[in-house]
Amino acid sequence: MAKTVKSKKIVSAVEAMYGENVFSLKVMKECLSKKAYESLSKTMNEGGVIDPAIAGEVAASMRDWAVSKGATHFCHWFQPLTGSTAEKHDSFIAPDGQGGVAMEFSAKELIQGEPDASSFPSGGLRATFEARGYTAWDPTSPAFIKEGEDGTTLCIPTIFCGYHGEALDKKTPLLRSSAALSKQMDRAGKLFNVKPVTKAYATLGPEQEYFLIDKGYYEQRLDLIQTGRTLFGRKPARHQQMEDHYFGAIRPRILAFMEDLDQALWKLAMPSKTRHNEVSPAQFEIAPIYERLNVAVDHNLICMEMMRQIADKHGLVCLLHEKPFAGVNGSGKHNNWSLVGTDGKNWLHPGANPHENAKFLFTLCAVIKAVDVHADLLRAAVASPGNDHRLGANEAPPAIISIFLGDQLTDIVEQLEKGEPKSAKSGGTITLGVDVIPTLPRDATDRNRTSPFAFTGNKFEFRAVGSNMSPAAANVVLNTIVAEAIDEMCTQLEADLKAKKDFNKSLQAILQAIIKKHKRVIFNGDNYTEEWHQEAERRALPNKKTTPEALKAYESEKALALFEKYAVLSRKELLSRYEIYMHNYKSVLSYEAECAMTIAATQILPAGLEYQANLASTINSVEAAGGKSKTAKDSLIKVSALIEELSLGIASLESAIEAHNTDKMKAAMLEVRKPADELEGLIPADLWPLPTYAEMLFLY
Ligand code: ADP
Ligand code: MG
């Protein structure tokens, strides 16, 4: 007995189920002919479209695999500009004419779909007579199975575009920007004389924050149901000031949710790794192991969907809004991004030898240049009404985009700028191509939590992304701006090499010039302070506080030319996005304003009036009975004044809505909220119509 146990490899339940719902390379190797497998795995690694000659075989084996897993339907799974994902299901059935059916799935059905695009936003790109949209398989992201209650669906990740190939989704520009970046990294690889083993690609590990609250409370809050955030609510006496929730023991009910979530994600080969409590009560985080950018984005979207579904099974609701509760921390998504070169190595990993150092400093300077030149685009990419509540609220990074490098790396960069050979701080010298940069200890790089764009050891972490957003837009911008920087640096290096200049000298001169010009974007201090805001103004760094201001960057000639040059988005495509995002901003503010008005008028005001009437009759009866009514009278005066204030607020809100004026709506919503939240502190708990912050944040 003992012998068999010893010699038998123990396969854990996780290993057995990991990726079981994915049509992965492993599954393909088993199901496909050698020729089809090799062709498809090449496409998966390098991008592009599937070879039509093998599409029939791939479709047939995908169908067999899916049907064996209980699939009755397939769908093209895509990412329209609405912000969520979309899918249209078709069953596999094909009647055989004799009362039975066969399960069919053709190459064409795998490769291309034609959902009616007229109900998806196109920002004027698609006239109604061309309402047709096309979805096309993105083979770099594997097909997967979604489990339902009574059956499963084969999901095929696709791009979504219009009749003339105009991008109508978030995946298309992501793939195009990845290709642009890869192309420039390829040039860099050649210049640095590395042995190519792969196409260059970006990696992403998005950390996702979220709230969980009890479904019973959620259902009693029209604001949460309709807008995803609380439009009213008094801060409870205790919230996050004890700082005892962060990394605290996870409550059993939440842990059960997290366990379920991990299992569901692992089945889909989404490498969920870390789970913990976050800063605010009822706030949590999930983080995966990083993957290729495109797949990581798809996995993040799947993760968000699973979080909502699995929470529901546990009687919970997952709130992904950037700021569901005023007065406590909001939720973000930390976009950990790095670059793998053609040598298969991370080029943002500081040096083990002089050659690696040169690659590292080259890439680092490319990012510094890119972020400084296009800080406005990074800001635009994270602009949303939800994120407006978060950015700059002293818990999330400010709207000013700056880079944190840490003291040690800043010291190295400064020496590089001066061209001085010796450094006291790092102990080494930094003439390129000669010496080694010390490996940067994590502690030296990662302790500033206030920076929007921080170097964290071997990657950059863009922290301004909102929790509810697809990470796509931020990475489209990152890929494209870094591609441009690398392009310009390579062009200079290639010219210098042609002129027979020394490579290291030329590189050093280029990096020096970049640091001189762009070091204003580096800031290692506390991003929350007033001094930084003033300093940033002196440095002329943009500070766009609201979505409409931030989105303007997409309309600029600089942006239009950039995205056009790298074939990421045509002018028309970019302008259409600007329009959609502006429209979205206005829609969100309008429905928030209307919802606030409804709650104020139909729930809060009546509660106030009822309490007012109770007080009045108390006063009358107490006085008739010869008692003292001073306390009740004082309360009545206070409550009556707040009711008046509330009524005025409701009137302002009404006129702002009628005037379609978003700025006025924002102001009027605050005007209504102030007396409403004060009333919550006066009105007896059994009369108050809404679950309180204390209940929602602490009782789950
Ligand atoms: P911390 O929690 O201190 O921010 P971690 O190293 O645990 O740092 O990473 C956080 C996230 O960054 C994880 O999702 C991780 O997978 C991701 N990450 C780590 N290395 C890379 C990389 N080279 N490229 C992209 N993401 C990365
Ligand atoms: Mg982090």
**Distance in Å, CA 453 to ligand 1 centroid:** 14
Quick: pLDDT tens for 606-646.
Answer: 999 999 999 999 999 999 999 999 999 999 999 999 999 99
In a 13 Å sphere around the CA of 442, the CA atoms on its Cβ side amount to 0
Ligand closest to 451 (CA) is 2
Q: Is 559 found in the same domain as 634?
A: no
| pLDDT at residue 130, as a whole number | 62
What residue owns the CA closest to ligand 1's atom 14?
Answer: 205
Q: Band the pLDDT of 424: cuts 50, 70, 90.
A: very low
**Distance in Å, CA 334 to ligand 1 centroid:** 9
**Distance in Å, CA 289 to ligand 1 centroid:** 7
| Distance in angstroms (rounded) separating the CA atoms of residues 133 and 686 | 53
- H runs (alpha helix) in 526-629: 530-538, 547-551, 557-565, 571-599, 605-624
Angle, nearest 10°, between helix axes 630-658 and 605-624? 160
Q: Is 207 found in the same domain as 154?
A: no
Q: Is 464 found in the same domain as 592?
A: no
Q: Is 207 found in the same domain as 148?
A: no
**Distance in Å, CA 335 to ligand 2 centroid:** 8
Q: Which range of residues forms the domain containing residue 607?
A: 586-698
At 557, list the tokens. 């000639």
What residue owns the CA closest to ligand 1's atom 17?
Answer: 205
At 364, list the tokens. 């680092």
Domain CATH code at residue 73: 3.10.20.70
Cα 171 versus chain centre, distance: 13
Quick: pLDDT tens for 520-574.
Answer: 999 999 999 999 999 999 999 999 999 999 999 999 999 999 999 999 999 999 9
Q: Is 101 found in the same domain as 196?
A: no
CB 270 within 8 A of CB 14: no
- Among residues 147, 169, 191, the one where a domain terminates is 169
At 477, list the tokens. 């911008």
CA-based radius of gyration for the chain: 28
| Distance in angstroms (rounded) separating the CA atoms of residues 390 and 438 | 36
**Distance in Å, CA 142 to ligand 2 centroid:** 27
At 668, list the tokens. 């009027």
Q: Is 387 found in the same domain as 452?
A: yes
CB 698 within 8 A of CB 281: yes
3-class DSSP assignment, residue 449 = coil
Closest ligand 1 atom to 338 CA = 24
Does a structural domain hold residue 263?
Answer: yes
| pLDDT at residue 163, as a whole number | 82
Q: Is 139 found in the same domain as 211?
A: no
- Among residues 137, 169, 201, the one where a domain terminates is 169
**Distance in Å, CA 18 to ligand 1 centroid:** 21
Residue 297, CA distances (Å) to 90, 447, 459, 574 in order: 25, 26, 17, 20
Q: Band the pLDDT of 433: cuts 50, 70, 90.
A: low
**pLDDT beyond 90 at 419:** no
Quick: pLDDT tens for 11-58.
Answer: 899 999 999 999 999 999 999 999 999 999 999 888 778 899 999 999
Q: Is 316 found in the same domain as 212?
A: yes
- Among residues 541, 569, 597, the one where a domain terminates is 569
Closest ligand 1 atom to 349 CA = 23
Domain CATH code at residue 690: 1.20.120.1560
| pLDDT at residue 670, as a whole number | 97
| Distance in angstroms (rounded) separating the CA atoms of residues 482 and 371 | 8
Q: Is 633 found in the same domain as 539?
A: no
| Distance in angstroms (rounded) separating the CA atoms of residues 246 and 518 | 36
| Top-confidence residue, 567 or 236 | 567
Quick: pLDDT tens for 466-503.
Answer: 999 999 999 999 999 999 999 999 999 999 999 999 99
**Distance in Å, CA 287 to ligand 1 centroid:** 8
Which sign, positive or negative, has the C-alpha torsion 378, 382, 384, 386?
negative
Ligand 1 pocket, mutate which of 336, 346, 462 (most atoms under 8 A from CB): 336
Does a structural domain hold residue 651?
Answer: yes
Please enumerate in sequence order all residues whose Cβ is within 8 A of that of 170, keeping only pairs 6 or more positions apart, or say none.
Answer: 79, 80, 81, 470, 472, 473, 476
CB 231 within 8 A of CB 323: no
Does a structural domain hold residue 7?
Answer: no
DSSP for 561-579 reads: HHHHHTTSS-HHHHHHHHH
**pLDDT beyond 60 at 4:** no
Which residue has 């059916």 as its token pair? 101
**pLDDT beyond 90 at 131:** no
Q: Is 564 found in the same domain as 447?
A: yes
Number of structural domains the chain divides into:
3
Q: Band the pLDDT of 101: cuts 50, 70, 90.
A: very high
| pLDDT at residue 420, as a whole number | 57
| pLDDT at residue 333, as a whole number | 97
Ligand 1 pocket, mutate which of 289, 337, 349, 459 (most atoms under 8 A from CB): 459
| Top-confidence residue, 491 or 239 | 491
Q: Is 28 found in the same domain as 138?
A: yes
Domain CATH code at residue 368: 3.30.590.10
Quick: pLDDT tens for 206-218.
Answer: 999 999 999 999 9
Mean pLDDT (whole number) for 50-70: 94
| Distance in angstroms (rounded) separating the CA atoms of residues 460 and 204 | 10
Does a structural domain hold residue 486?
Answer: yes
- H runs (alpha helix) in 192-292: 215-218, 222-227, 252-267
Angle at 204 between CA 345 and CA 465, to 5 degrees: 145
Percent of the chain residues past pLDDT 90, beyond the cut: 79
Does a structural domain hold residue 6?
Answer: no
Q: Is 367 found in the same domain as 266?
A: yes
Highest-pLDDT range among 44-53, 113-122, 308-317, 416-425: 308-317
Does a structural domain hold residue 150?
Answer: yes
Closest ligand 1 atom to 348 CA = 23
| pLDDT at residue 2, as a whole number | 46
Q: What is the mean pLDDT of the chain?
A: 92
Cα 605 versus chain centre, distance: 37
Q: Characterize 581-593 residue by residue with b for buried, 16 or more Cβ atoms within 10 angstroms of its Cβ, and e for exposed.
A: bbebbbebbeebb
pTM: 0.95
At 276, list the tokens. 């913990």
Pocket lined around ligand 1, Cβ cut-off 6 Å: 203-205, 207, 287-290, 336-338, 346, 446, 456, 458-459
